[in-house]
Amino acid sequence: MFLQTQGITKDFGKLRAVNNVTLEIEKGDIHAIIGPNGAGKSTYFNLITGYHRATSGKVLFKGKEITTLPAYSRCKLGITRSFQITSIYPKLTVYESVLMGLLAHRKVTLKFFSSAKKFFKEEVWRILEDVGLSDQANTLGDSISHGDKKRLELAITLGTEPELLCLDEPTCGMSPEETDVAMGLIKKFSGERGLTILFTEHDMSVVFGIAKRISVLHQGTLIADGAPQEVRASEEVQKVYLGGTA
């Protein structure tokens, strides 16, 4: 068992944002969480990555309970979130940004900085090549395009050696071409690096184009979970998405 939530619930005051969700995410899967606005998708992600603490229920990662661990401890275990452009260093080059991410994760202190820089050179280049940014290595972080910033964010994240990558609306604000590139990268990393991807997305063509498994949240409750074709056939899901009274 890779990642599991057991009856996880999150209350914000009187509002129950996530209601008793029991779900397994399998290793190597590309797993989408969908649902209308306000369904609790981001909150559910935050319960997994540790940015929110559950009101009740459990989160287990590779058999170990992590329910109360802070986000940085979960990151060390391999649970990472990405595609938040805000974390890019605007005054560093693309190469330096990836290097900084790597050094920070490996806890390299200033004392060993110059030798570590040489040591990690190959790894930085490998990551840049993987995400298709090697020709931008010497460009400053704030002068690259929006789509390339998304690639850089992913590159920085790969330096933290993730096992589970949580992407909350990764294609938000992207053009259709950038969306295609980002989805291609997600597929590639799930295939080549064996990464497990958990993502939310409002664009159903993206979801059905890439997800191997889909779970549907509605008002904080899990109403469907399964292969794309099963979820698509679910009456309850259709009601929710067609604006019915479910």
- Binding positions for ligand ADP, 27-86, rule CB under 6 A: 35, 37-43
> Whole-number minimum distance, CB 94 to ligand ADP, in Å?
30
CB 222 within 8 A of CB 33: no
| Distance, CA of 94 to CA of 148 (rounded, Å) | 10
The reply to whether 42 sits near Mg ion by the rule CB under 5 A is: yes
CB 58 within 8 A of CB 142: no
Residue with the CB atom nearest Mg ion in the bound state:
42
CB 32 within 8 A of CB 12: no
Segment interacting with ligand ADP (CB under 6 A) among 11-19, 79-87, 224-232, 237-245: 11-19
In one-letter notation, the amino acid at residue 234 is S
Which of residues 42 and 139 has its CB atom nearest to Mg ion in the complex?
Answer: 42
In one-letter notation, the amino acid at residue 199 is F
Q: Give the DSSP H/E element, type plus range, for residue 17.
A: strand 15-25
Tokens of 174: 């992207």
Q: Give the DSSP H/E element, type plus range, for residue 6.
A: strand 3-12
> Whole-number minimum distance, CB 5 to ligand ADP, in Å?
14
Tokens of 183: 């989805």
The reply to whether 20 sits near Mg ion by the rule CB under 5 A is: no
Which of residues 28 and 38 has its CB atom nearest to Mg ion in the complex?
Answer: 38
Which of residues 47 and 156 has its CB atom nearest to ligand ADP in the complex?
Answer: 47
In the numeric block, the tokens 């369904």 are attached to 39
Which of residues 33 and 181 has its CB atom nearest to ligand ADP in the complex?
Answer: 33
> Whole-number minimum distance, CB 200 to Mg ion, in Å?
6
Which of residues 83 and 189 has its CB atom nearest to ligand ADP in the complex?
Answer: 83
Residues interacting with ligand ADP, by CB under 6 A? Answer: 12, 15, 17, 35, 37-43
